[in-house]
Copies of this chain bind each other. A is one copy, B any other.
Amino acid sequence: MVGLPARGKSLIAGKVKRYLRWTSVKAEVFNVGTYRRTDNPHPDAKFFDVNNTEGEKARRAAAEAAVADMLNWFKDKENKVAILDATNSTKSRRKWIHDKIIEANLLHLFVESKCDDEDLIMSNILEVKTSSPDYVGQDPEEAARDFRDRIRNYEKVYQTIDESEKHLTYVKIINIGARTVINLIQDYLQSRLVYYLTNLHIKPRSIWLSRHGESEYNLEGKIGGDANISERGDRYARLLPELVKRSGLPKDAPLTIWTSTLRRTSQTAQYLVKELGWEKLQWKALDELDSGVCDGMTYQEIADKYPEDFQARDDDKYNYRYRGGESYRDVVIRLEPIIMELERSENIIIITHQAIVRCIYAYFMEIPQEKSPWMEVPLHTLMKLTPKAYGTQVDKYKADIPAVSTWRPKGSTAKHHDSVSEGVPEVRVGDKTSQKSEPPPMTGLPLP
Contacts and interface: CB of A to CB of B under 8 A. Distances in A.
Contact of A191 (B226, B284, B326, B344): B344
B330 A284 contact: yes
A349 interface: no
A333 B284 contact: yes
A285 B198 contact: no
Contact of A179 (B182, B295, B323, B334): B182
A182 B184 contact: no
A315 to B, nearest CB: 20
Contacts of A284: 326, 330, 333-334
B182 A191 contact: no
B179 A183 contact: yes
Contact of A195 (B195, B330, B333): B195
A188 B344 contact: yes
A337 to B, nearest CB: 8
B183 A182 contact: no
A165 to B, nearest CB: 12
A226 B293 CA distance: 11
A178 B166 CA distance: 10
A180 interface: yes
B180 A181 contact: yes
Contacts of A83: none
Contacts of A334: 284-285, 334
A295 B290 CA distance: 13
Interface residues of A, number: 34
Contact of A198 (B178, B179, B182, B326): B182
A177 interface: yes
Per DSSP, chain A at the interface is mixed
A324 interface: yes
A285 B180 contact: no
A43 to B, nearest CB: 37
Nearest to A341: B188
Contact of A182 (B166, B180, B337, B344): B180
Interface string A156-190: 00000000001000000000011111111100100
Contacts of A344: 188, 191
A295 B325 CA distance: 12
A184 B195 contact: no
A261 B326 CA distance: 10
Contacts of A198: 182, 185, 191, 194-195
A285 B191 contact: no
Interface in A195-222: 195, 198-199
Interface string A287-304: 000100001000000000
Contacts of A341: 188
A194 B179 CA distance: 13
A226 to B, nearest CB: 6
A324 B226 contact: yes
B184 A181 contact: no
Nearest to A174: B183
Contact of A181 (B182, B225, B324): B182
Contacts of A225: 324
Nearest to A329: B284
A194 B195 CA distance: 9
Nearest to A290: B290
Contacts of A290: 290
Contacts of A324: 225-226, 295
Interface string A304-344: 00000000000000000101101000100110110001001
Interface in A214-263: 225-226, 261
- Return the 3 tightest CB-CB contacts between A and B, nearest first: A180-B182, A179-B183, A195-B195
27 contacts: A166-B179, A177-B185, A178-B184, A179-B181, A179-B182, A179-B183, A179-B184, A180-B181, A180-B182, A180-B183, A181-B181, A182-B198, A188-B344, A191-B199, A191-B344, A195-B195, A225-B324, A226-B323, A226-B324, A284-B326, A284-B330, A284-B334, A285-B333, A285-B334, A295-B324, A336-B337, A337-B337
